Amino acid sequence: MSPTDGVSLTLGQLAKACGAELAGDADVLIDRVATLDGADKGAIAFLSNPKYRSRLTTTRASAVIVAPADASGTALPKLIAANPYATYACVATLLHPAPPPAPGVHPTAVVSASARLAPSAAVAAHAVIGERTLIGERTSIGPGTVIGDDCSVGADCLLHPRVVLYARTQIGARTIIHSGAVIGADGFGMAELSGRWLKVPQLGRTLIGADVEIGANTTIDRGAIGDTVIEDDVKLDNQIQIAHNCRIGAHTAIAGCVGVAGSTNIGRSCKIGGAAMIAGHLDLADGTVISAATALFDSIHSPGIYTGTFPALPHREWRHVASAMRRLRSIVERIRALERDGSKDKA
């Protein structure tokens, strides 16, 4: 069965498995998920954005997933949940399960004699596994993936094609790593000496927790002396750079193209928008939210939403605003001078 092949479950079974309230015929058979516009018989769709509420009346889905406030908007059988998107994720996982890996090592793979592979692990074509490396039960190693010496990959992991794990990297159970990701490369450690750069040896490791997902072409450097740590349930999008000796707290989600400089500690349950840039040696409190494209140069000790991006304007208007911003310091000084003169006059 391919990942897109579904299974069939009744709406009642889905409600019980996902903890949703059932309204309507529990015996309706559902075999796939779809959008409100694209659904037809046998499909279940979901509504999480109110701007699409009108489509509830036109969808041809066999059932829908809605919030309590939207339940009256359709007579279709439905699952009612406070978080329809999360319920959709649960339903989609049940209806479209990933196929289990076929155990075994492809003849073209290169596995070191001292490596230890669980009997249920799968190693695809042209993969390379280094000395003393451990591969857990039901873990799938994709084609062309290279795992260095003394690594550890936990149970039920999925490493897509062309992932690279440098030596001594540790990966927790149920972690997914997408193609092109490089874990454990040298951090950017350079000391300037007499006008030239002297490379600082990077002696630490990269430790990835359980239930982590790492996007395509994301890079996570190993520590210079200590370790770079990605805690459990962290979700990293594509093309993210995590520098040496960073720590990313559990349940944090980081969107694409974010850069995090070295020795920064990001707390638990943080959310960081795409293309944000975070300077080194900073601390971010648990629950911090950083808006997209924000540049961060100071630590954040109180959780909240932080934004450093100037909203887009028509170019001509932006030039006027930028011109005023360049004169802001002189304008402030003139206002202060006027305030001083006003104070003298009152005296």
Regarding whether 58 and 161 lie in a shared domain, the answer is no
| Last residue within a domain, chosen from 67, 95, 123 | 95
Compute the mean pLDDT over every residue in the chain, rounded to the nearest whole number.
95
Residue 4 is predicted with a pLDDT of 47
Regarding whether 272 and 201 lie in a shared domain, the answer is yes
Greatest Cα pair distance, the chain, in angstroms, is 93
147-174, pLDDT tens digit by residue?
Answer: 999 999 999 999 999 999 999 999 999 9
Regarding whether 133 and 25 lie in a shared domain, the answer is no
Q: DSSP 3-state assignment of 260?
A: strand
Q: DSSP 3-state assignment of 66?
A: strand
Regarding whether 74 and 208 lie in a shared domain, the answer is no
The neighbouring-strand residues paired with 260 are: 242, 278
The answer to the question of residue 4 being in a domain is no
Regarding whether 143 and 218 lie in a shared domain, the answer is yes
Residue 6 is predicted with a pLDDT of 65
Residue 342 is predicted with a pLDDT of 75
Instruction: Say whether pLDDT at 195 is over 60.
Output: yes
Residue 341 is predicted with a pLDDT of 79
Please identify which residue in the block is written with the tokens 């028509």.
314
Regarding whether 275 and 248 lie in a shared domain, the answer is yes
The answer to the question of residue 131 being in a domain is yes
SS (H, E, C) 131-157: CCCEECCCCEECCCCEECCCCEECCCC
Active site residues: 244
Integer Cα distance of 73 and 183 in angstroms: 48
The answer to the question of residue 291 being in a domain is yes
What radius of gyration, in Å, describes the C-alpha atoms of the chain?
26
Residue 248 is predicted with a pLDDT of 98
Burial class (CB in 10 A: 0-12, 13-18, 19+), 19: exposed
Burial class (CB in 10 A: 0-12, 13-18, 19+), 117: buried
90-131, pLDDT tens digit by residue?
Answer: 999 999 998 888 999 999 999 999 999 999 999 999 999 999
Regarding whether 174 and 109 lie in a shared domain, the answer is yes
Instruction: Say whether pLDDT at 61 is over 80.
Output: yes
Regarding whether 338 and 294 lie in a shared domain, the answer is no
Containing structural domain, residue 332 = 315-346
pTM exceeding 0.85: yes
CATH number of the domain that 67 lies in? 3.40.1390.10
Angle at 156 between CA 148 and CA 219, to 5 degrees: 45
Mean of pLDDT values over 326-344: 87
- Tell me if 239 sits within 8 A of 254, measured CB to CB: no
The answer to the question of residue 166 being in a domain is yes
Instruction: Say whether pLDDT at 2 is over 50.
Output: no
Instruction: Say whether pLDDT at 333 is over 80.
Output: yes
The answer to the question of residue 3 being in a domain is no
Residue 1 is predicted with a pLDDT of 37
Regarding whether 258 and 333 lie in a shared domain, the answer is no
Identify the band that residue 5 occupies on the pLDDT scale cut at 50, 70 and 90: low
Regarding whether 248 and 113 lie in a shared domain, the answer is yes
Residue 339 is predicted with a pLDDT of 87
The token duo for 314 is 């028509």
The answer to the question of residue 1 being in a domain is no
- Tell me if 208 sits within 8 A of 172, measured CB to CB: yes
Residue 3 is predicted with a pLDDT of 41
Q: Where are the alpha helices (DSSP H) in the chain?
A: 11-18, 84-95, 315-326, 328-346
| Last residue within a domain, chosen from 95, 119, 145 | 95
The answer to the question of residue 114 being in a domain is yes
Share of the chain above pLDDT 90, in %: 88
**Amino acid at position 156, single letter:** D
The answer to the question of residue 181 being in a domain is yes
Share of the chain above pLDDT 70, in %: 97
Regarding whether 265 and 178 lie in a shared domain, the answer is yes
Regarding whether 145 and 89 lie in a shared domain, the answer is no
| Last residue within a domain, chosen from 64, 95, 126 | 95
Query: What separation in angstroms does the CA of 100 have from each of 82, 201, 203, 295, 347?
Result: 32, 40, 36, 42, 84
- Tell me if 245 sits within 8 A of 204, measured CB to CB: yes
Per-position DSSP letters for 185-196, written without gaps between them: EPP--EEEETTE
252-303, pLDDT tens digit by residue?
Answer: 999 999 999 999 999 999 999 999 999 999 999 999 999 999 999 999 999 9
CATH number of the domain that 157 lies in? 2.160.10.10
* Number of domains present in the structure of the chain: 3
The token duo for 242 is 């995590």
Instruction: Say whether pLDDT at 143 is over 90.
Output: yes
